[in-house]
Structure 1
Amino acid sequence: MTDISTPTPAALENESRRYENRLLVILFVAFGFVFFDRQALAFLAPYMDKDFGLSNAQLGTLSGVLALTWALAGMVAGRLSDKIGRRKPILIVAVLMFSVFSSVSGLMGGFVGLLAARALMGVAEGAVLPMAQSLMVETSREHRRGLNMGLVQGSSAGLLGGILAPIVVVWVAEATSWRTAFFVTIIPGLVIAAVIAKYVREKPPLVRTAATDAVADAAPAQPKPAMKDVLKQRNVLICMLIACFYLTWFITLITFTPKFLTDEKGFAPGTMSGVMTCLGVAWVLWGFATPGISDRIGRKKALIGFTSLAVLCPIFLVYVDNPVLLGALMIVSYTGLGCFTLFMATIPAETVPPGALATALGVIMGVGELAGGFIGPMVSGWASDQWGLQTAMFIASGGALIVVALSFALKETAPAVLRRRLATREAV
C-alpha cells in the first residue's frame, strides 16, 4: 500500500513562490523579444534607406500597420481567451508566429512586401501581452502584483528592445547587412516557445487565500461578462483614452528618434545607438520602479507624477545637442514605459472580474494601438515631411501631456492604498 502524503501549506506556498518567479522570468524574456523584433525596424531604417529610400511618412506607415494588426489581434485573442478559459496555447502560437514573420521582413524587396510582413508580425505579437499579463496577475502575490507586471511589460521590453536591440541589430547591420539582422530574430522565438510549452502552467499551483479560493470556486458557475459590461467600468474607459495618447508618445518616439538623431542632429550611427541605449536603460529602470512604487503610493499618483516627467523627454531630444547630456536626460525623463503597465494591465486587472481580465487588457491595448500606434505615427510622419522631424517630437510630448490630465479621472485601485484609506476612515 502506497503512502501518499498531503503537502503541507508551507510546502505549497514555497512551490507557489518558486513558480511565480519562474513564470516571471519566462514571460519577461518572451515579451522582451516581442519588443526586440518590433524595435528592429526603427534601428535598421537608416541602413534600409539605401534599398528603399523610405520617407518619414512610409516609415510611420510601417510602424502604424504593425500597430493596427497588433491592436486587432490583441482584442480578438483577449476575448477568445476569456471565452475558452485558456491562455497557454494562444501564447505559444503567438510567439512562434511573430518570430517567423519578423525574419520574413529580411526577404522583402520593396515597400509593399515589407508592409505585408510587418502587418503579419503584428497579428502574432498582439496576442502576447494579454496572455502574458493574464497569466502573471493570476500567479502574483498581492504585494508583488504591480512589480511583477511591470517587469513583464516594462523592464523586459526595455532590456531586450531598448538596450539589446540597438546594440545587436546595428552591429549585425554594420558587419553584414540589415537583412541578416532581421533573419537572426527567429532563433530566440523558437527557444522561448519551447520553454513556455514545457514549464508554463495554465493555472498557478496554489490559490493563496480563502477569499480567492471562494472566487475561484464560484467563477465557473458565473457567466462571462459581456464586452458592454467591461466598457461600463470607468477605469477601463479612462485607461482606453490614456492608451491612445500614451501610445502616440511611445510609438512616435521609437519610430522617429533614431532617424531624428542621425538626420537632424547629425549623430553618427554609433552615437545614435548609444543614445538609444540610454532610452533602454531608462526603460528597464522605470519599467519595474514605477509599478513597484505604485504598489505603495497608489496607481493614480504614480501615473500622474511619472507621466509629467515623460512630457519632457521629446523636448530634450529637440533642444539638447550634447549626446552625453542628452543620454543622461533620457534616463531621467523616459519614464512612460513604467506607466504602461499601470493603465494597460494593473489598473484594469484590479477593476474587472477575473473572467473579463484578458478581454479588458486586449481592448485597452487594442484601442490604444489603433489610435496611438496606427494613426499616431502616420500623422507624425506626414507632419514631419511637411515641417521637419522635430514636429514628431512635439506631437509625442503633447500626447503625454494629455495623459497627465486624463489620469486625474482614474479611481484608485492599489490594494495597500485602499486598505490605508479604509483604516483612516474607520479611525475617524
Structure 2
Amino acid sequence: MTDTSTAAPDARAADRYELRLLVILFLSFGFVFFDRQALSFLAPYMDRDFGLSNAELGTLSGVLALTWALAGMFAGRLSDALGRRKPILVVAVVLFSLFSASSGLMGGFAGLLVARALMGTAEGAVLPMAQSLMVEASRESRRGFNMGLLQGSSAGLLGGIVAPLVVVWLAETYDWRVAFYVTIVPGLIMAALIWKFVRERAPRAPQVREETVKVPLGEVLRLRNIVVCMLIACCYLTWFVTIITFTPTYLTQVKGFDPGTMSGVMTCLGVAWVLWGFATPAISDRIGRKPALIGFTALAVCCPLAVVFVESPVLLGALMVVTYTGLGCFTLFMATIPAETVPRAALATALGVIMGVGELAGGFLGPMVAGWASDQWGLRAAMFIAAAGALAVVGFCFLLKETAPAVLRRRAAA
C-alpha cells in the first residue's frame, strides 16, 4: 500500500526540481545559441575589417559545426561511460563563454577560424548533457514540451530575438568586437548555477543501476529510428545553418535593407523560433512525433523561398513567423524520439551521434557548399539549397516509427 503522506511531497519536490532544471538549462542552451548566432549578425560589420567572402563566412560557420559535432559525439559517449553529466556540462559552459569572447580579439580570418573552432568544441557537449538531464527529470506528459522549451524556444529567444537586437546595437553603438566580449558574462553565471542547483540524478530518474549496463554503439546504430534521425539531422542542419548564416547578408546586400530593417526581420525568425520551439513538441505529445515532423517540415520548406521572392520587409517578417517551423522539429529528431527509442545507458551516446553526424554533414559541409555556390551564382543559391534540405526531410520522416507514449497507448487500446 502506498504511503500517500510521503508520495505527495516527493511528487511535489520532483515537480519543483523539474521546473528549476528547465529554467537553468533553458538559459544555458539559449546563451549557447546567442554566441553561435552572433557571427551571422555581426558579419556585415566585420566585413569592413576583414572583407569576408561568402565562402569564408560559410567556412566560419562550418568549422564551428565540425568541432561541435566531434565534441558532441565524444562527450555523449564519455558521459555514458562515466555515468556523469553535470561536471562535463559545467566545463563546457565555462569554455564556450571564454572562446566566444576571444573572437573579438582576432585580427584576421585565420584567427577567427581558430576561435570559432574552439568555441564549437566546447558548445558541442552542452546539448547531449542538457537533454539527458532534462528527459530524466520530466513527467511523461511534459517530455516533448520540456525538451522543446530547452532546445527550441531557448535558442529562439536568446539566439533569435535577443541576439540580433543586442549584438547589432552593440556593433552600432560601440564596435563589433565589444559584442563578442560581453558574451563571456552570462555563460559564467550559468555555469555557477548549474554547479549549485543541478543534480547528477533527477528524482524521476530510474532507480535501477541501468548505467552499469554498457550499450555498444553498433547496437544503437542498428535501431531504425536512430539512423533515420541521423539522415534528418543532416538535411535539417543544412536548412538551418544556411538560413542563419546567409540571410542577414542576403537582406542587406541583395534586398538593400538597412541594418535596422535586417535586424527586425531576423527578430521575426526568433519569434517563430520561440513559438514553434515549444508548440511543435507539445503538439507532437498529442498527435504523434511523425505527423508533427511531416507537417511542420513542409511549412519549413517555404521559409528560405520567402526570403528570395518576398520584397516587403513587413510581409517577409510575417511569413518568417509562419514558416520558420523547423527549430521546433529539431527537438523531436535530436532528443525526444531518440530518448523514447534507446535505453538510458545509451541516451547521451544516441543524442551525441545524431547531433554530431547532422552537424558534420549539414552544419559543416552545408554552409561551405552554400557559400561556394553563392559566390558562383549569387546568394539565391544558398536559399534554394536550404529549401532542398527541408524537402528531403519530409521524405525521410515517413520512415520513422512512432514513439509518442500517448499515441502508442491509444493505438494499443484500439
Return the TM-score normalized by structure 1.
0.95
Contiguous gaps of at least 5 residues in structure 1 = none
Contact 1:147 1:288 (8 Å CA) reproduced: yes
SS in 2 for 1:8: helix
- Show the 5 A alignment for 1:302-321: 302-321=292-311
Contact 1:70 1:127 (8 Å CA) reproduced: yes
Q: Does 1:219 align with 2:210?
A: yes
1:222-248, Cα deviation, whole Å (9 max, x unpaired)? x21000000000000000000000000
Matched letter for residue 68 of structure 2: W
1:132-164, Cα deviation, whole Å (9 max, x unpaired)? 000000000000000000000000000000000
Matched letter for residue 282 of structure 2: G
Residue 334 of structure 2: aligned partner: 344
1:2-30, Cα deviation, whole Å (9 max, x unpaired)? xxx99711000000000000000000000
1: CA distance, partners of 2:127 / 2:106: 27
Residue 407 of structure 1: aligned partner: 397
Q: 2:378 aligns with which of 388, 391, 411?
A: 388
Contact 1:265 1:321 (8 Å CA) reproduced: yes
Contact 1:75 1:359 (8 Å CA) reproduced: yes
Residue 78 of structure 1: aligned partner: 76
How many angstroms does 1:205 deviate by? 2.4
Q: Please, what is the CA RMSD of the aligned residues?
A: 1.1
Residue 23 of structure 1: aligned partner: 21
- Show the 5 A alignment for 1:88-99: 88-99=86-97
Contact 1:40 1:165 (8 Å CA) reproduced: yes
2: CA distance, partners of 1:219 / 1:189: 32
- Show the 5 A alignment for 1:281-292: 281-292=271-282
Contact 2:138 2:204 (8 Å CA) reproduced: no
Residue 244 of structure 2: aligned partner: 254
1:72-96, Cα deviation, whole Å (9 max, x unpaired)? 0000000000000000000000000
1: CA distance, partners of 2:209 / 2:121: 34
2: CA distance, partners of 1:219 / 1:267: 55
Q: 1:174 aligns with which of 155, 158, 172?
A: 172
Contact 1:352 1:360 (8 Å CA) reproduced: yes
Q: % of aligned pairs identical?
A: 75
Matched letter for residue 219 of structure 1: E
Contact 1:75 1:366 (8 Å CA) reproduced: yes
2: CA distance, partners of 1:399 / 1:287: 19
Matched letter for residue 262 of structure 1: T
Q: 2:135 aligns with which of 126, 134, 137?
A: 137
Q: Which runs of 4 or more aligned residues in structure 1 lie more than 2 Å from their structure 2 counterparts after TM superposition?
A: none
Residue 155 of structure 2: aligned partner: 157
How many angstroms does 1:217 deviate by? 1.6
Contact 1:23 1:200 (8 Å CA) reproduced: yes
Residue 419 of structure 1: aligned partner: 409
2: CA distance, partners of 1:298 / 1:374: 31
How many angstroms does 1:219 deviate by? 1.3
Contact 1:12 1:206 (8 Å CA) reproduced: no
Q: 1:204 aligns with which of 196, 199, 202?
A: 202
Contact 1:344 1:364 (8 Å CA) reproduced: yes
Residue 46 of structure 2: aligned partner: 48
2: CA distance, partners of 1:177 / 1:217: 54
Q: 1:361 aligns with which of 351, 370, 377?
A: 351
Return the TM-score normalized by structure 2.
0.98
